[in-house]
Amino acid sequence: LTGVAPESLSDGGAMSSDANAATLPGAADAESGREIIATAQATVQVKSIPEAATAIAALAEEHGGYVESTEIGKSVPLDGRTDPATDTADSAYGWVGIRVPSADLPDVIAALADTGEVLSSSTSKQDVTSAAIDLRARVDSTKASVERLTQLMAQSGSVSELIEAEVALTDRQAQLESYEQQLAALDDQVAMSSLQVQLTKASAPTTADPAGFGDGLLAGWNGLVVSLNALVIALGFILPWLALAGVVVLLVWLLRRTRRNRRDAAGSSSGTSVEEN
């Protein structure tokens, strides 16, 4: 927030705005005059997500609020194919964002138990009293500046003075609109709290399959057959390499034996020649 006249931050302006804060519709605490932005989140496990989303929307309207966003979808199998068994099943997840009056937020959170089992809930609060006071002081100061510039334009005698006053007036009007928009957004956040509700599907209880043992036995037999087939294929792949390795070992053994026989024969011949001499 820049470009505001120094008088906008004076003590008098701040005190005047603070005195009016408690009477504003967006005041979260009327006794203390503090302005609080409250946001909440909750996770609810329900039987039917679309029905729960409709019930939460009705709950928001009942308390004078509205639905801000909704997202409902079905789970997708990992292989990317649609499972016929769940093709017509209820949605698997959902998000519902609502806004309700800040004073009604605790009651709305408590009423979520009527739609399903509340697994978790949390609320966070932010004190924006100082920011609201500062914005109101800047709005008042800028309005006063706009009025003074308007009077100066009416009293301007020359064209240059008129142009200068008009430029300054346009700049201050733009600042005033910006401050008013920021203040309106802040008051709206204080007056209407946001509640994000995550909806999860309650899983159906599973029952034991009477044919489970037979299915397990069949699966084990099929696994054994597959393992034996894999072993046979592995042996068929390794045998040619084993045969080749055996031929290489045999050749090496024959070469070494031939060399040893030659050395032995040479040694015998040299020994006989020495004895004859």
The predicted pLDDT at position 242 comes to: 84
pLDDT in tens, the chain (277 residues): 333 333 333 333 333 333 333 333 444 454 467 899 999 999 999 999 999 999 999 999 999 999 999 998 875 444 444 443 344 345 678 999 999 999 999 999 999 999 999 999 999 999 999 999 999 999 999 999 898 888 888 776 677 778 888 888 899 999 999 999 999 999 999 999 999 999 998 776 555 555 566 777 788 888 888 888 888 888 888 888 888 888 888 888 888 888 888 877 777 766 665 555 5
- For residue 2, the model assigns a pLDDT of 34
Give the per-residue pLDDT at 78.
42
**What pLDDT is recorded for position 16?**
35
- Rounded to two decimals, what is the model's pTM? 0.54
d(CA 64, CA 128): 23
What integer pLDDT is reported at residue 208 of this predicted model?
52
pLDDT for 248? 87
pLDDT at residue 270, rounded to an integer: 65
Please give the pLDDT value at position 21. Answer: 36
Domain ranges of the chain: 6-201, 231-262
- pLDDT, residue 162, reads 81
Q: How many residues does the chain have?
A: 277
Supply the angle between the helices 129-155 and 159-191 in degrees, to the nearest 10: 160
Distances (CA, A) of 101 to 3, 17, 60, 121, 168: 34, 23, 9, 18, 40
The pLDDT of residue 188 is 93
**Token couple for 199:** 């909806």
pLDDT of residue 153: 80
Q: What is the pLDDT of residue 82?
A: 40
